Chains A and B, each alone.
Chain A
Amino acid sequence: MRLLKLRRNHYGYVFITPFIIAFLVFGLYPIYNTFALSFTNTTLMNASSAEFVGLENFKRLFADDFFMKGITNTWLLWLLNFTPQIGIALLLSAWFTNARLKIKAVGLWRALFYLPNLLMPATIAALFFSLFQFYGPANQAIVQLGFVDEAVHFLQNVSVARILVIFIQWWMWFGQTVIIIMAGIAAIPVHLYEAAMVDGATGPQMFRRITLPLLKPILIYVFVTSLVGGMQMFDIPFLLTDQRGGPSSSIMTNNILMYMKFSSSKGHIGAASSVGVLVFIMTTICALGIFYVLRERRAPTQRRQEEKVLDPVQAQMAKLKAQE
């Protein structure tokens, strides 16, 4: 009987084999290959005569203002869209789940706010390009309404280009963040709120003292996945303007720089790989670091975790009462 069970558990290996093979062949090896290429001067032309050049590619990157600009741009564009995204999402989630406010048709609002996330980023970039080009509807509107006398070259302006990328990224992602945060709120035991209400806590108080601390794991998840996505931002900034991250490289992200090196006349895939490698290391360290440092170890039982949380909440409530 024991032998039978053992033999059966072997199927575990059989069933995960396709995944492992596909991961090794299409996931791990390309990562290794990218690292290996980054130490060579390989181009698309000299595939057979490429040479090992050590850290030459990396030295050149660090000496190149373009690379630092790409990194700075990417962090800037990500941070400035993530901050309002999480802010608005928390606000909406708090309102949508507030029993006293009783907002109507929550499901519908949520579904509509999420919609942009499903649409093709290439199309969205092209759409905003059309809306904001010189003869586009945005200019028509502001001229017709008399805000300006002459149409504006929106997409040639550094600030406007950045604001548009930030807006589009925010626009595409805040709805999804609302859904995830609301799911996190729904998982918080109701009796915590009931107890707080009996103690006379207000909505904002409950949000700060109960909802936020218990949402921490979810917020970390949103933060880290958004960071990983943000560091690889490509479609929107690439297709919104001149496919080089212009004007003045103001929206040139890491991936755009990598692509530009790849698609240069000779196809410097060695140099392009070194961009990929550095950003890969930076992103992985940040993502895994944040994930494992900030993540609370899950308590062995839900019960124990609730008790642990309940105590500080009650302590806070007592403190608030004492202050009144």
Chain B
Amino acid sequence: MMIRTSGQPSKLGLHLTRTFIYVLLVILLLMTIVPIWMLIVNATRSTTEIQQGISFWPSTHLVENYRFLGSRGINLFKGFSNSMYVSITTTLITVYFSFLTAYALVVYEFKGKKFFNNFIIVLVLIPAQLSIIGFYQYMSRLGLTDNYASLILPTIANAAGVFFGKQYFESMLIQDLIDAARIDGAGELGIFHKIMMPLAIPGAATFGIFAFVFAWNNFFNAFILISSFDKYTLPMLVQTLRGDVYRTEYGAIYVGLAVSIVPILIVYALFSRYIVSGIAMGAVRE
């Protein structure tokens, strides 16, 4: 069969196009990687070295830089464990309740289900951060400001999580399993906890990574709601690093910044495949 080739690029043209694309990709890659690499490298260099010029090779002053921050009252370890506590609790809570809600929407037929489904989509599009002032004043009336509960509890109602969970449960063939478990006399909550949730672990883990990263990176809410220094999460410490005291101690600043992103880099190196496919999963349907 002859396929007409007029209007299609010639061999040479294709070759040139490909070269052009690779050059562009490399430029984009350098733009992506160089700032991050410089951050990590500078965390290991002394302030003098940093002032002398740019280098892409690590030096030996990491520990020294870290100690300097400690001597100025910035306890990175404390900030790190605060962030870990908030992020892990948030992740567990938001994944559990999102999947519980999603499961109900996939498995049961009830009045108002359609409305609730549409409502979830609307919620994803609502700019919730703009109600932070009302949220703050309300929390302070309840005595919950400067308390991690004000960061953690709202994530029980996570519309994006329900959306994700729904996609996941819909992609699993579950009705037979549920029927079998019911015949064996299992209760509805039991079925969810003992059968469905364990089966949904790959999906829950994928969404969990997103929930974790989001909680880990969340600056705005913590910045408004948390006030005592020993409760500061990492993004808040990062913000104080910019204060005048540290402005001339570049090495120390870079260490503080590096601590906030290295855990994420490690998570990404391990799970990038799931993360990338997870983004697609949340978006494709609608």
Category for how many chain B residues contact A: 35 or more
What residue in chain A is nearest B97 (Cβ atoms)? A18
CA distance A126 to B5 in the complex (A): 53
Main SS of chain B's interface residues? Answer: helix
Given A27-B128, A122-B260, A288-B122, verify A272-B133 contact (CB < 8 Å): yes
Given A26-B157, A34-B130, verify A115-B36 contact (CB < 8 Å): yes
CA distance A287 to B123 in the complex (A): 11
Question: What 0/1 readout, one digit per residue, does chain A (122-148) give for beta carbons within 8 Å of chain B?
Answer: 111011111100010100110010000
What residue in chain A is nearest B17 (Cβ atoms)? A101
A317: interface (CB < 8 Å) = no
Most chain B beta-carbon neighbours within 10 Å: one of A26, A29, A101: A26
Given A101-B14, A202-B7, verify A276-B134 contact (CB < 8 Å): yes
CA distance A207 to B234 in the complex (A): 44
Stretch at the interface among B61-69, B70-78, B98-106: B98-106
Name the distance in Å between A311's Cβ and chain B's nearest Cβ. Answer: 22
Given A122-B219, A179-B276, A198-B3, verify A103-B105 contact (CB < 8 Å): no
Instruction: Verify A255–B133 contact, CB threshold 8 A.
Output: no
Instruction: Verify B129–A255 contact, CB threshold 8 A.
Output: yes
Most chain A beta-carbon neighbours within 10 Å: one of B97, B101, B253: B101
Most chain A beta-carbon neighbours within 10 Å: one of B6, B38, B157, B280: B157
A247: interface (CB < 8 Å) = no
Name the distance in Å between B75's Cβ and chain A's nearest Cβ. Answer: 17
Name the distance in Å between A19's Cβ and chain B's nearest Cβ. Answer: 4
Instruction: Verify B253–A171 contact, CB threshold 8 A.
Output: no
Question: What 0/1 readout, one digit per residue, does chain A (8-41) give for beta carbons within 8 Å of chain B?
Answer: 1111111110111111001101111111110000
Instruction: Verify A280–B130 contact, CB threshold 8 A.
Output: yes
Instruction: Verify A26–B100 contact, CB threshold 8 A.
Output: no
B153: interface (CB < 8 Å) = yes
Instruction: Verify A291–B276 contact, CB threshold 8 A.
Output: no
Instruction: Verify A218–B284 contact, CB threshold 8 A.
Output: yes
Name the distance in Å between A229's Cβ and chain B's nearest Cβ. Answer: 8
Instruction: Verify B162–A13 contact, CB threshold 8 A.
Output: no
Instruction: Verify B284–A187 contact, CB threshold 8 A.
Output: yes
Of the candidates A22, A92, A222, the one whose C-beta lies within 8 Å of that of B157 is A22
CA distance A129 to B138 in the complex (A): 34
What residue in chain A is nearest B213 (Cβ atoms)? A118
Question: What 0/1 readout, one digit per residue, does chain A (193-232) give for beta carbons within 8 Å of chain B?
Answer: 0000110101100000000000001100110110010011
Instruction: Verify B224–A262 contact, CB threshold 8 A.
Output: yes
Instruction: Verify B35–A127 contact, CB threshold 8 A.
Output: yes
Of the candidates A18, A101, A122, A176, the one whose C-beta lies within 8 Å of that of B235 is A122
What are 5 A-B pairs with beta-carbon distances under 8 A?
A: A12-B113, A18-B101, A100-B9, A175-B32, A277-B130
Q: Which A residues are closer than 8 A to B by beta carbons? A: 8-16, 18-23, 26-27, 29-37, 42, 88, 92, 95, 100-101, 103, 107, 109-116, 118-124, 126-131, 135, 137, 140-141, 144, 171, 175-176, 179-180, 182-184, 187, 197-198, 200, 202-203, 217-218, 221-222, 224-225, 228, 231-232, 234-235, 239, 254-255, 258-259, 262, 269, 272-273, 276-277, 279-280, 283-284, 287-288, 291, 324
Pairs A-B, 3 closest by C-beta atoms: A34-B134, A12-B108, A183-B280
